[in-house]
Structure 1
Amino acid sequence: MVSKRSEDRVFVFPPATALDSCEGAFTIGAQNAYMAENGAYTGEIGLEQLEEFGIQTILIGHSERRDILGEDQALVAEKFSYFKAQDFEIVYCIGEALEVREKGEEAVMAHLLSQFEGIDLSYEKLIIAYEPIWAIGTGRSATTEEISSTHASLKEHFDRPLLYGGSVKPENIKEITAINGVDGVLVGSASLDVERFSEMIFA
């Protein structure tokens, strides 16, 4: 995640196997964790493991966990509540599929707002990331008009930092971060290339 001002922080969410290998002036966060300190939750990471690495930031609600791994809103909200209680900084993701986008702005907003069910929008350590699913990993970003309109509508419902995530890359990051209402970006596949990621940080 990259913020739009040079004095803002850069967040990195590495795979769980690399949580102890990150160096540099970054805020390191977990891509996922289970809602327990520890226990018999095969394949999961608990609070105890995150604390071992000094991690106090987590990504919740990403579209891949919702769509591929079947995390419904009830589970996402439960994760949010648990890590809020642990005083974590939470980057909370919302987004819509192409079929929703094609129904128009009203349908998009209804869908996005439904993803705030069970989420405390007044939580001071909450950062929201809007990621149109149809623009993730496809090389196609939403137009500046689509981003501006959606962010403006979302900002009517909360006063928290709002990031844009959807095929953000060095070639379009300046244009996206210049949009009113975009407080930073959530970078996906473009961050896997160190040189391109560095270029975005200093854009």
Structure 2
Amino acid sequence: MIFAANLKCNHTRASFKIYADVLNKTMGVKCDDIIVFPPSIAFLESQTNFIQGAQNFYPCINGAFTGELGKEHLDEFGIKCVLIGHSERRILGDETLIKAKFDFAKEHNYKIVFCIGEDLKTKNSGKTLEFLKSQLDIIDLNYKNLIIAYEPIYSIGTGVSADIKDISSVLEYLTTLSQAPLLYGGSVNENNIKEILSIENCGGVLVGSAALKVENFIKLIKG
């Protein structure tokens, strides 16, 4: 199972160093199935027993792109895993370069956690699967380092996870499009994680607020 934590706009370098130290000690050895996406200001240069990923980047090595992070900056911290397409970035209008980001990350053999998800209006219209397919049509679904994270927008940060039957239906459909590991994200917590992970075709979770404290993230990992 893959356990990924998106810390969003939380943690400083100092607090994330403490977070990483605790997680490193708990893991004991390197585990490629544990991924943590800290804010870029908190990237650590030291080796970790988990994969450190970037929440955002610009598809360039470097250049005249004010406020952006290029490959050169990620390389400095040994980062080879990126999050692309998260709905919170799509809403901000910052994911207009999704295909360019994907193609760049693929070119440089990054592990990619690619987020898809529908809003409540789309769900209620019965067009969820059609909408999700449209989000995936622009990327290479056969890319060997791809992980797909299904995160219904109406469940992100609301404390209300999607219905188990809906998650199961979506994940089953996604297996017809790609062989990539499939994660579920959206108000995952210690009360629902076991049921979510028991869903057929669920290969793990992408956790937000429930992973902000390292002790809570470890509880989720240990089950």
TM over 0.5: yes
Aligned pair 1:88/2:110, yes or no? yes
Aligned pair 1:164/2:164, yes or no? no
Farther off after superposition, 161-170 or 151-160:
151-160
Q: Which amino acid aligns with 1:90?
A: I
Instruction: Determine if contact 2:151/2:184 at 8 Å carries over to the other structure.
Output: yes
Aligned pair 1:34/2:58, yes or no? yes
Q: Which runs of 5+ in 1 are unaligned?
A: none
Q: Which runs of 5+ in 2 are unaligned?
A: 5-26
| 2:3 corresponds to | 2
CA distance in 1, matches of 2:146, 2:132: 16
CA distance in 1, matches of 2:93, 2:145: 26
1:125 to 110, 126, 145: 145
Q: Which amino acid aligns with 1:2?
A: F
Residue by residue over 1:39-92, the C-alpha shift from the partner in whole angstroms, topping out at 9 and shown as x without a partner, is 1211111000101110100000110111123423xx101110011001111000
| 1:142 corresponds to | 162
C-alpha displacement of 1:122:
0.5
Corresponding residue pairs, total: 197
CA distance in 2, matches of 1:194, 1:12: 10
1:63 to 61, 65, 87: 87
Structure 1 pair 22/151, CA: closer, same or farther in 2 (3 Å)?
farther
SS at match of 1:115: helix
CA distance in 2, matches of 1:23, 1:89: 17
Q: Which amino acid aligns with 1:93?
A: C
Instruction: Determine if contact 1:59/1:93 at 8 Å carries over to the other structure.
Output: yes
Aligned pair 1:17/2:41, yes or no? yes
CA distance in 2, matches of 1:115, 1:108: 11
Structure 1 pair 8/34, CA: closer, same or farther in 2 (3 Å)?
closer
CA RMSD of aligned residues (A): 1.7
1:100 to 117, 122, 132: 122
C-alpha displacement of 1:24:
3.9
| 1:45 corresponds to | 69
CA distance in 2, matches of 1:169, 1:77: 31
Instruction: Determine if contact 1:77/1:117 at 8 Å carries over to the other structure.
Output: no
Identity across matched positions, percent? 49
C-alpha displacement of 1:22:
6.8
Farther off after superposition, 16-25 or 140-149:
16-25
CA distance in 2, matches of 1:82, 1:23: 25
C-alpha displacement of 1:25:
1.2
| 2:21 corresponds to | none
TM-score, normalised via structure 2 length: 0.84
